[in-house]
Amino acid sequence: MTSRLLPIFAFAAVMAVIPFIPGVPPFWIVLLDNIGLASLVAMGLVLLTGVGGLTSFGQAAFCGFGAYTTAVLTTTYGVSPWLTLPLSLLVAGFAAVFLGIITMRLSGHYLPLGTIAWGISLYYLFGKLEFLGRNDGISGIPPLSIGTWKMLDPGTIYFPIWIAVIIAALLSMNLLDSRTGRAIRALRRGHVAAEAFGVQTARAKLLVFIYAAVLAGLSGWLYAHFQRAANPTPFGPHLGIEYLFIAVVGGAGYVWGGVLGAAVVIILKEALQSYLPALLGGSGQLEAIVFGILLVALLQLAPTGMWPWVTSLLPAKDSRKRPASADALPSRAESAPADGVLLQVEKARKQFGGVVAVNDVSFEVKSCEIVALIGPNGAGKSTTFNLITGVLPATAGKVTVRGESVSGAPPQEVVKLGVARTFQHVKLVPDMTVLENVALGAHLRGSSGAIASMLRLDRADEAKLLAEAAKQIERVGLGDQMNQLAGSLSLGQQRIVEIARALCVDPMLLLLDEPAAGLRHMEKQQLAALLRQLREGGMSVLLVEHDMGFVMNLADRIVVLDFGTKIAEGTPAEIKTNPDVIKAYLGAAA
């Protein structure tokens, strides 16, 4: 048994024993059932909100889909509860596809607002539909049973609930620790970085949305057979907010945070409801107020949630070693273009309203060449990068890579042609290790999907991706930092991590946006040596850089932009003495 699974099996063993401990009050078991049911929903939210950065207040509605599906099928049509399980999950999943296609396009505050909107609508819909029993709901739902053993009491339904929680936790952990998981985790840093490495972000968002909905649907299915009744109240927006609360209190980025959050919130609520009126002698909503205050205090104590706070109190584990060696990933099949021109930018133009950020700029990058793009702040260098990599559509002009037009192509297509990039403002996921961040660069070189990852069938593929990531990290000289969190590195080192991530693409052209910023003198020399070595190996580099010493010693050719217009192009020696460049840039930079 691996050390990863050991704590889970220990937890499962403890949970299995609890109902058999003599003297355990039945009320505790009911509480544990409720914790398990809430854990399932919260675990989905951990992936959706904590990991993927997509806030949803509407998860309770998916519990409703799961619960009502089994309620209708078992009571009206007499279908066996076990047969309704896949159907409940399917209905919740399809509802997520439909709602996800509409809502996942929203960004910023509009996304959570969208989820509140459909959360409220579905709550009222459940209460209006005749076949769902309107506000009274559906009663007489049969219990789960195996043979003649009917799971009628809280102590027996306890087992399917907690088996579901443990399986869901395992699947979620497997998913996060995979190629698809990295893609989901990268979503939190925005679309641009993930898409630059081929991640279909819309698909990844929808996937995690469906996953969270299916877990909520499972919770709803279990709830219906636990309560033996379903009505709209537990599937309304109030509960939707509470589930999000549970995930945040537990630690929205951590699978087990969902379970811990559910335990803390449900036990706290229950304790306040039982003891507060007796203590203070009052009745009414006092416990709700105290509950709110206590949760805010908890979040002050552990702003990223209880789970990371609790685990930080445990003795630190040994960080993982270098990934085991694996078969190398196949190298890029395409060879250098016959005419030697890797990248051709022809009269590229980009206007933002009245601002002409890139003004009919033309230049090319040949095979095995290092070209620098320089110019004052706001000259249009980063915008030019964004035009080449498909982040922004050009207003006019043409960009070709190895003779193939990339105008209008999305970043996911451009990277397939062997164009990899780094960003002026570093876009790493800070709470992922250096290794995991870099492995995102090899996304397109792996093929395992979400289901294979959840079932751990992706290990051979994953080993190759991690081995490639480790190779590139060592190549850029950060082998010792491989298992550190990317956010703990200096900004200069994070830029180098971005280079390793780009190298994982096996690129023909590397686009580096200010790679030397934040590096010390020695580190700059090492970076220059690395880039020369890459050039010797057949790679081309286009770099934006303000450090003129670095550029002049490294570049074969320099293109100078000023106010979006190309004002000069030539060798470092020519550029250094060009009066226009001195006037517009070098004079000021010197």
424 sits near ligand ATP (criterion: CB under 6 A)? yes
3-state secondary structure of 499: helix
> CA separation (Å) from 586 to 56, 347, 357, 376, 574?
51, 25, 20, 9, 13
3-state secondary structure of 348: strand
Q: Which residues contact 239 (CB under 8 A, 6 or more apart)?
A: 60, 63
Q: Which of 553, 581, 555, 554 is nearest to 568 (CA)?
A: 581
Strand duo 355-366 + 404-405: pairing:
unpaired
Based on CB atoms, which residue is closest to ligand ATP, 331 or 377? Answer: 377
Based on CB atoms, which residue is closest to ligand ATP, 479 or 549? Answer: 549
Q: What is the DSSP letter of 373?
A: E
Number of helices (H), then strands (E), belonging to the chain: the values are: 24, 14
Q: How far is the CB of 568 from ligand ATP (least distance, A)?
A: 15
End-to-end CA distance of the chain: 62
Contact pattern for ligand ATP over residues 368 through 397, marking x by CB under 6 A? -------x-xxxxxxx--------------
Based on CB atoms, which residue is closest to ligand ATP, 143 or 378? Answer: 378
Based on CB atoms, which residue is closest to ligand ATP, 103 or 382? Answer: 382
Q: How far is the CB of 258 from ligand ATP (least distance, A)?
A: 37
Q: How many binding residues for ligand ATP (CB under 6 A)?
A: 12
402 sits near ligand ATP (criterion: CB under 6 A)? no
Based on CB atoms, which residue is closest to ligand ATP, 33 or 514? Answer: 514
Q: How far is the CB of 419 from ligand ATP (least distance, A)?
A: 18
Q: Which of 584, 581, 563, 565 is nearest to 573 (CA)?
A: 581
Token code pair at residue 230:
């379903």
Based on CB atoms, which residue is closest to ligand ATP, 11 or 563? Answer: 563
Contact pattern for ligand ATP over residues 23 through 42, marking x by CB under 6 A? --------------------
For tokens 């309704």, the residue is 84
Radius of gyration of the chain (CA): 28
Contact pattern for ligand ATP over residues 321 through 360, marking x by CB under 6 A? -------------------------------x--x-x---
Whether 251 contacts 39, CB under 8 Å:
no
Q: How far is the CB of 454 from ligand ATP (least distance, A)?
A: 38
Q: What is the DSSP letter of 542?
A: E
258 sits near ligand ATP (criterion: CB under 6 A)? no
Based on CB atoms, which residue is closest to ligand ATP, 214 or 419? Answer: 419
Cross-strand pairs, 373: 544, 559
Based on CB atoms, which residue is closest to ligand ATP, 379 or 534? Answer: 379
Token code pair at residue 264:
């803390």
Q: How far is the CB of 489 from ligand ATP (least distance, A)?
A: 22
Residues that bind ligand ATP (CB under 6 A): 352, 355, 357, 375, 377-383, 424
